[in-house]
Structure 1
C-alpha cells in the first residue's frame, strides 16, 4: 500500500507531501492543474519510462520519495531479496533527476538500478487508463490474468513440470544421438584399433622388459668373449693350479708339524670361492647365448608397442587400459540403438504427458474465458455499454511451459461490428469503462492491491459516471485505489479527497495539492457540478451525491 509521496522540484511542483490512505483516494482539479504530474512523479520513482525532462525550471535537481507498506508474503520482498537489498516492513523508494538528465535511485537507502525499480513497481502498483500499456491493454499479460481469474495455477504448474520433463527427455535423446553419431564416425577406427591391440596384446611393464633384453642381446657379443676367457682362466688355469697346490701341500703337511694347516684351510676356502665364481660365469655365458632371430623378434615387438603407444598418444604401459576403454566404447556403440529406442520411448511418453496436461489446461482456460466474458458483460450493462460485446479469445500457439494457448481480450462496441484487441477498438470513454469492468471481475477475492485509475471516467457522466464511481468504491473496499477524475459522481464516492490547483507565486507557476475536509469536499464537488460559481443548489446536489 502506498503510504506517502514526497515530490521536490518536479515540473511545476516545488515541494509537496501527500499521505495516502486505504480505500478510495480521489484527486480532482481543473484541467492543466497538474494532476497528471502526480502520476508522472509516482511513475518516475517507480522506474517507469515517461517524460525526459522532469526537473523544475531553475532547480538543480528533482526528487521523488515514495513509501510503501510491505506485509508478510508481499511479492516485493522476493524482488528485494533477489537484488540483495534490505527487506523491511516499510519500503522506501527515492529517485533523483539532475538538471543534466542523470537519474539515480535508492531502495531503503541502498543504490539500485532502474530495472530493480521496475521489477518492484510490478508488485506494488497497477496503473489503468487509456494509455495503460503495462496492464490490461498489454496482450502479453492476458493469459496470466485469465489463469488467475480461473484459479488455474495448479494446472499451470502441472503443465510447467510436464514441459520441463519433455524438454529434459528431448535433450537426453539429442545428446545420445549426437554422441552415437560421433562414435559411428569413428567406428572403423575403433574396431581397427581393437584388432591391433588384441593382436599385439601388450602387457604393463613389458616395454621395459623388452628394452632391457634388447640392450643385453646387443651387448652380448662384445662381452661374451671376455667372459669366455675368464671361464677358461678359472677352469683350466686358476682352479687346476690351486688343486695341484692343494695336493702337494697335503702330501707335505704330515712332515711340517702343523705349520701348513692354516695355509691348507685358506686354500680350501679359495677352492670353494673359485668354484662358485666359475659357476656364475657359466650361468652368465648361458644367459648370453641366444638365437640370432630372438634379437630381431624382440626389437620388432618393442617397436610395435612403442608405435602403437605413439599412435594413440598414451604411455606403453597404458595400452592395455586404453584397449579396455576402446572395447567399452564399442560396446556402447553396439548398445546405442537399444539405448536410443529407450530414449525415444521416453520422449514419446513425455510428449503424451505434456499434451494431456496442456490440453486439460486449454479446456480449463476455455471454461474460464466463458465465465470471464459473462462476468464482464454483466458489469458493462450498468456502465451503459449493454450493446457492446467482450470476448476472451483463446487460440492455439506454439507449446511452451505455460501451455499451448494465446489469450487476447477482444471487444466489439456495437452488434455486428468486428471484434478486435481491447486497446485498438474501443474509444477513450468506452475503453475506460471496459477496463473498469474487466478489473472489477479480475480483482474479485483479491485484497491489499494499490490500483491507480487515470481519468478512467473520461467521456461519461450522469448515471454512467455514478456506476463508475460505485465500482471504484467497491474495488477500494479491500484495496487502495487512487483516482484522477473530472466526474463529481466519482469524486463523491471517495473516502479521501485532494484538490490539485495551479497558482502563480512570485512569477512562477506552481502546482499545489490540498487535502479536503468534509466542507471543502462539498465545495469542490459543487464546483465540479456548477463550474466557477458555486451556488447553494450546487452544494445541495453535492451533498446529495456524497450521501448517496
Structure 2
C-alpha cells in the first residue's frame, strides 16, 4: 500500500507531502491543475519512463520520495532479497532525484539502485489504468499472461518441455552439420585412409630408412676396408699373434714367477676387447652385404613416406597420428546415420512431451477463458453494459516456452455487432468500464497491488458514473485504490479525498494538493457539479450523492 508521497521541485510542484490510506482515495480538481503531474512524479520514483524534463523551472534538481507498507507475504520482499536491499520490517522507502542536467539517481531503503530495480519493484507495488492504458490491459501481447494469472496456470512443465525440445533440436542440427561436412569430404577420407592402410607409416621410420639407405649407398666404397680390418684383427692377424704371445708368456711364467702376471692379465683383457671389436666389424659386414633390390625397396618406401608427409602437410613422424585422425572422421561418418536416427528419436519424444504439456495448458486456458467471460458478463451488468459482450479468444499460435496458444480479449458493444479488439471497438466511456470490469475480474482477491485509475470514468455520467464509482469502492475494500476523477458521483464514494489546484505566486504557477476534510467535501462535490459558482441546488445535489454513498 502507498503510505506517503513527497514531491519537491517537479514541474509546477514546489513541495507536496501527501499521506494516503487504505480504501478508495479520490483526487479531484480542474483540468490542468496538476493531477497528471502528480502521477508523472509517482511514475518517476517508480522508474517508469515518462517526460524527459521534470525539474521545476529555477530549481537545480527535483526529488520524489514514496513510502510503501509491505505485508509479510508481499512479493516485493523477494525483489529486495534478489538485489540485496535491506528489508526494513515491512516499510519500503523509495527515493529518486532528477538533476537539471538530466542525471537521475535512485535509492531503495538507503541503497543506491538502478531504474531496472525500481521497475522490478513497481511491478509488485502498483498498477496504473486509464482510458489510454497501453501498458497492460489494452496490449494484446500481454493478454496471455493475464489469462494465465487468472487461471493460476503453472508454466513450469511447458517451459521445461520446450527447453528439452530446443536442446534436442540444437543437438540434431549440430550433428547434421558435422555429418554434412564429413560427407563433403567422404571421397577424400576413404581414399586417404586406404593409402595410409597400405603404407602404414610408423613414428621414427623415416630416420631409420634414411640411415639404412645412406649405409647401403656407401657399402661399395667401404666394404674392402672393413674386410681388411676384420682380417687384420682376426686369427691370421692380431688375434693369432696375441694368442701366440699369451702361450709363450704362460710357458715362461713358470720360471719368472709373478713378474709376468700383470702382462698376462693385460693381454687377456685385450683379447676380450679384440673379440668385441671383431664382432662389431662382422656385424657391419653383414649390414653391408645386401641385394641391390634391398636398396631399391628402402628408397621406394622412404620416398613414399616423404611424399605422403608433403601431401598432407605434416611431419613424417606425425603421419601415423594423422592417419588415426582421418580414420576417426571416417568412422564418425559411417556411424552418423545411426547417431542422427537416435537424435531424431530424442527430438520426436521431446516434441511429444511438449505437445502433451502444451495441450494441458491449452485446455486450462480455454476453461479459464470461459470463466473469465462469465465473470465479465456479471461485472458489466452493474456498469450499465449488460448488452455488451466480452470474449477471450484462445487460438493456435507459434509454439514456444509459453505454450502453443495466442490469447486476445475481444468485445462487442451492441447485440449483433462484430467483435473486435478491446482498444478499437469500445468508445471512451465504454472502454473505461470494460477496463474496470476486466481489472476487477483479473485482480480477484489479490490486494497486494495499489491500483491507480486515471480518469477511467471519462465519458460517463449519471447512473453509469455512480455504477463505476461503486465498483471502484468495492475493488478498494481490503486494499488501496487511487482515482483521478472529474465525476462527482465517483468522488462522493471516496473514503479519502484530495483536491488538486493551481495557484500563482508572482510570475510562478504552482500546483498544490490538499486533503478535503469531511465538512468540506459537500462544497467540493458541489463545485464539480456546478463549476466555480456553487448554488444551493448544487449543494443539494452534492448532499444527495454523499447520502447515497453511505
> Residue 188 of structure 1 corresponds to which residue in structure 2?
187
Deviation at 1:244, TM superposition (A): 5.1
Cα distance change, pair 33–293 in 1 and its aligned pair in 2 (3 A): same
Cα distance change, pair 446–283 in 1 and its aligned pair in 2 (3 A): same
User: Is the partner of 2:497 in helix, strand or coil?
Assistant: strand
1:178 aligns with 2:177: yes
Greater Cα shift, 452-461 or 357-366: 357-366
User: Is the partner of 2:453 in helix, strand or coil?
Assistant: strand
Contact 2:94 2:109 in 1 (8 A): yes
Cα distance change, pair 223–20 in 1 and its aligned pair in 2 (3 A): farther
> Residue 205 of structure 2 corresponds to which residue in structure 1?
206
> Residue 406 of structure 1 corresponds to which residue in structure 2?
406
Deviation at 1:407, TM superposition (A): 1.5
Cα distance change, pair 274–461 in 1 and its aligned pair in 2 (3 A): closer
> Residue 385 of structure 1 corresponds to which residue in structure 2?
385
> Residue 143 of structure 1 corresponds to which residue in structure 2?
144
Deviation at 1:522, TM superposition (A): 4.1
Cα distance change, pair 509–159 in 1 and its aligned pair in 2 (3 A): same
Cα displacement string for residues 510-543 of structure 1 (whole angstroms, at most 9, x for unaligned residues): 2111123332334433443454426463564354
C-alpha distance in structure 2 between counterparts of 1:132 and 1:164, whole Å:
34
Contact 2:253 2:261 in 1 (8 A): no
> Residue 335 of structure 1 corresponds to which residue in structure 2?
335
C-alpha distance in structure 2 between counterparts of 1:32 and 1:415, whole Å:
38
RMSD: 3.0
1:490 aligns with 2:490: yes
Cα distance change, pair 406–271 in 1 and its aligned pair in 2 (3 A): closer
C-alpha distance in structure 2 between counterparts of 1:348 and 1:498, whole Å:
62
Aligned residue runs from structure 1 range 298-447, under 5 A: 298-447=298-447
Cα distance change, pair 470–242 in 1 and its aligned pair in 2 (3 A): same
User: Is the partner of 2:432 in helix, strand or coil?
Assistant: helix
**Which runs of no fewer than 5 residues in structure 2 stay unpaired?**
none
C-alpha distance in structure 1 between counterparts of 2:13 and 2:127, whole Å:
24
Deviation at 1:112, TM superposition (A): 4.3
Total equivalences in the alignment: 544
> Residue 545 of structure 1 corresponds to which residue in structure 2?
548
C-alpha distance in structure 2 between counterparts of 1:67 and 1:350, whole Å:
48
Deviation at 1:367, TM superposition (A): 2.4
Contact 1:66 1:92 in 2 (8 A): yes
Contact 1:246 1:267 in 2 (8 A): no
> Residue 476 of structure 1 corresponds to which residue in structure 2?
476
C-alpha distance in structure 2 between counterparts of 1:366 and 1:271, whole Å:
108
Deviation at 1:317, TM superposition (A): 4.3
Aligned residue runs from structure 1 range 229-244, under 5 A: 229-235=228-234, 236-243=236-243
> Residue 133 of structure 2 corresponds to which residue in structure 1?
132
Deviation at 1:82, TM superposition (A): 5.7
Deviation at 1:4, TM superposition (A): 1.9
> Residue 45 of structure 2 corresponds to which residue in structure 1?
45
User: Is the partner of 2:15 in helix, strand or coil?
Assistant: strand
* Alignment TM-score, normalising by the size of structure 2: 0.89
User: Is the partner of 1:486 in helix, strand or coil?
Assistant: coil
C-alpha distance in structure 2 between counterparts of 1:473 and 1:75, whole Å:
24
Contact 1:454 1:485 in 2 (8 A): yes
Cα distance change, pair 229–518 in 1 and its aligned pair in 2 (3 A): same
Cα distance change, pair 296–541 in 1 and its aligned pair in 2 (3 A): same
